[in-house]
């Protein structure tokens, strides 16, 4: 499925949430919520307000911070996805795709750092005195951080592919091909240019 098609507005909300790109972003956003919820709920000692990751406040704060930001940005991109047809400016659409690529790529890198950081802190943590629920939540957070690296990297790659497609299309983001398949990820094309007899550009969607 090409990137522009994944952003196509649908009259049916059920049809919208079944789009592969929407599912991917929705799952990623949901995992972000799980990450900061687990750390905020069980990652800090209620008595002395210290982080259970080897008493390193930075481990908890960094994890919560990047997860919360990614959560709200993910919601924003989902909203852009649903309202894509109402974004009529081609330059704005290109900026949305570029923003998706940059944010997803950079946040994949941040989660890689976070995964290494909290894994090392957890290795150094004295676990014997920790409640079982705290152990489960902190270990689950580490797994989720690892998963997010791959999910965000996939989103960045798909956006990068679409930017390459845009550069090869004279029409930019003027339209999208709803008949495009999903085998190549965001591959697939935009409708070809058409020209009038005088050689001037005529949009394939012009009435």
pLDDT tens, position by position, 89-112: 767 778 888 999 999 999 999 999
Q: What is the mean pLDDT of residues 179-207?
A: 38
Tell me which DSSP letter residue 12 carries.
-
Tell me the residue length of the chain: 207
Residue 200 burial class via C-beta count within 10 angstroms: exposed 0-12, middle 13-18, buried 19 and up = exposed
Its pTM stands at: 0.75
| pLDDT reading at 76 higher than 50 | yes
Query: 10 is written with which tokens?
Result: 């649908």
Residue 44 contacts residue 164 (beta carbons within 8 Å): no
| pLDDT reading at 171 higher than 60 | no
pLDDT of residue 205: 34
Nearest CA among 30, 24, 31 for reference residue 1 = 24
Q: Angle formed by the axes of helices 20-42 and 57-82, to 10°?
A: 150
pLDDT of residue 183: 27
Residue 28 contacts residue 74 (beta carbons within 8 Å): yes
Residue with tokens 């709803």: 178
- Mean model confidence pLDDT for the chain: 78
Q: What is the mean pLDDT of residues 116-133?
A: 89
Residue 122 contacts residue 173 (beta carbons within 8 Å): no
Nearest CA among 205, 196, 156, 152 for reference residue 3 = 156
Q: SS3 of 195, please?
A: strand
Query: 75 is written with which tokens?
Result: 């919601």
What lies within 8 Å, CB to CB, of 139 at 6+ separation is 122
């Amino acid at each position: 499925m090409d990137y522009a098609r994944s952003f196509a507005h649908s009259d049916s909300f059920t049809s919208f949430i079944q789009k592969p790109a929407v599912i991917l972003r929705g799952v990623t956003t949901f995992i972000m919520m799980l990450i900061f919820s687990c750390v905020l709920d069980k990652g800090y000692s209620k008595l002395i307000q210290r982080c259970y990751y080897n008493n390193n406040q930075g481990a908890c704060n960094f994890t919560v911070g990047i997860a919360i930001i990614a959560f709200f940005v993910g919601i924003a991109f989902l909203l852009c996805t649903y309202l894509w047809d109402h974004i009529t400016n081609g330059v704005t659409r290109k900026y949305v795709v570029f923003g998706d690529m940059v944010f997803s790529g950079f946040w994949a890198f941040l989660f890689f750092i976070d995964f290494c950081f909290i894994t090392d802190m957890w290795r150094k943590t004295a676990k014997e005195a920790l409640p079982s629920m705290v152990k489960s939540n902190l270990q689950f957070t580490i797994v989720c951080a690892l998963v997010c690296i791959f999910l965000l990297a996939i989103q960045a790659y798909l956006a990068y592919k679409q930017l390459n497609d845009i550069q090869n299309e004279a029409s930019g983001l003027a339209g999208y091909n709803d008949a495009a398949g999903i085998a190549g990820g965001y591959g697939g094309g935009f409708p070809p240019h058409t020209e009038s007899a005088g050689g001037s550009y005529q949009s394939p969607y012009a009435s």
